[in-house]
Structure 1
């Protein structure tokens, strides 16, 4: 299942329907363009708390999945603590292939 999620993240990146990094993810959530936020399981407590609060406030779904290194590799970048999906279809497909958290 993990392999499918990482493949979906790669497709999403190639389709330009993904933002990554704390600043860009936070910006997308606040601008109401985010459909799903993924935070790496090995992110700091502060990062997890930040996105939990922001996603709760703006009613965006949040999933804790993978590691920072794995998320970065899936989208062809360095380590990434957070990724934001901007497309409803990709978000739904990723949700279906992970253990949905919030």
Structure 2
């Protein structure tokens, strides 16, 4: 089941429906473009607090997923600890695959 959500994250990234990087994700949360935030299990404590607090403030759902290496491999980039999904369809399917 885990591979399915990773495949979907990769597909969303290739479709241009993701944003990467702390600053871009925070900007998308503030603009209410982000629909779902995926955080790596091994994200740094300060980054995790900043992103989760912002998600709670703006009522954006987030999920703690696999480690940074697995998440990075899914999108074909290196050392990515957070991914913002910008499309409601992708976000809904990813949430069901994660069992939320």
Same fold (TM over 0.5): yes
**Distance in 2 between residues matched to 1:30 and 1:66, nearest whole Å:** 25
Q: Is the 1:37–1:84 contact (alpha carbons within 8 Å) kept by the matching residues of 2? A: yes
Once the two structures are TM-superposed, the CA of residue 46 in structure 1 deviates from its matched residue by: 1.3
Aligned-CA RMSD value: 0.9
Identify the residue that residue 48 of structure 2 maps to in structure 1.
48
**Distance in 2 between residues matched to 1:76 and 1:27, nearest whole Å:** 22
Q: Deviations over 1:32-89 (max 9, x none)?
A: 1000001101101112111110000111001000111111111110111110000000
Classify the secondary structure of the residue corresponding to 2:78.
coil
**Distance in 1 between residues matched to 2:39 and 2:31, nearest whole Å:** 18
Identify the residue that residue 28 of structure 1 maps to in structure 2.
28
Q: Is the 1:70–1:79 contact (alpha carbons within 8 Å) kept by the matching residues of 2? A: no
For structure 2, which runs of at least 5 residues remain unmatched after alignment?
Answer: none
Greater fraction helix: 2
Q: Which moved more, 1:41-50 or 1:54-63?
A: 41-50
Once the two structures are TM-superposed, the CA of residue 99 in structure 1 deviates from its matched residue by: 4.2
Classify the secondary structure of the residue corresponding to 1:42.
coil
Q: Number of aligned residue pairs: give it.
A: 100
**Which portions of structure 1, spanning 4 or more consecutive aligned residues, are displaced by more than 4 angstroms?**
none
**Distance in 2 between residues matched to 1:86 and 1:27, nearest whole Å:** 12
Classify the secondary structure of the residue corresponding to 2:24.
helix
Q: Is the 1:21–1:83 contact (alpha carbons within 8 Å) kept by the matching residues of 2? A: yes
For structure 1, which runs of at least 5 residues remain unmatched after alignment?
Answer: none
